[in-house]
Amino acid sequence: MEKKEQLLKSLEYFKDWSNYLLVTTVAAVGWVGANGGPSLNANFIVPIIWCFALSVVLGIFTLALIPLVAEKITDDTESIYYVKGTFRLLWMLPPELSFALKYVCWPQHVLFIAGIILYAAGISADRCSGG
């Protein structure tokens, strides 16, 4: 298998993972936003929702970048994470922006993990306070 084919295959796996993470994060926003989850300390709900919501936005950008990155992959490409996808935020209006996958997927993952940790802390705080 040529290097370009390997990179495109890894991008395909990355796309699948990003889809699963985005769906999971949207479900988490709905779960926490709808009822706070089981016995969740109220002080934690807003930060959790913001972590998950920002993760969702970055997940959408991640998925939007994947075809743009795929177009630019060559046999000389080192990693899919460093290829910059170029796009316009507002269709044909300037400015033209360029982002590498790592600039959106890394914070997406960090915010998702932060949301999970805050969720666990919120449940623990409620249980420790006798809730």
Overall domain count for the chain = 1
pLDDT in tens, 82-95: 999 998 878 788 88
Q: Are strands 93-100 and 84-90 parallel, antiparallel or unpaired?
A: antiparallel
Q: What is the C-alpha to C-alpha distance for residues 120 and 29, in angstroms, rounded to an integer?
A: 14
pTM confidence score: 0.89
Taking alpha carbons only, the member of 108, 25, 34 closest to residue 65 is: 108
Q: What are phi and psi of 130, to 5 degrees?
A: 90, 15
Look at residue 130 and tell me whether its pLDDT is greater than 90: no
Q: What is the C-alpha to C-alpha distance for residues 93 and 13, in angstroms, rounded to an integer?
A: 32
Contact 125, 41 (CB under 8 A): yes
Domain span at residue 20 reads 3-128
pLDDT in tens, 38-97: 678 778 899 999 999 999 999 999 999 999 999 999 999 999 999 999 988 787 888 888
**pLDDT given at position 101:** 95
**pLDDT given at position 50:** 96
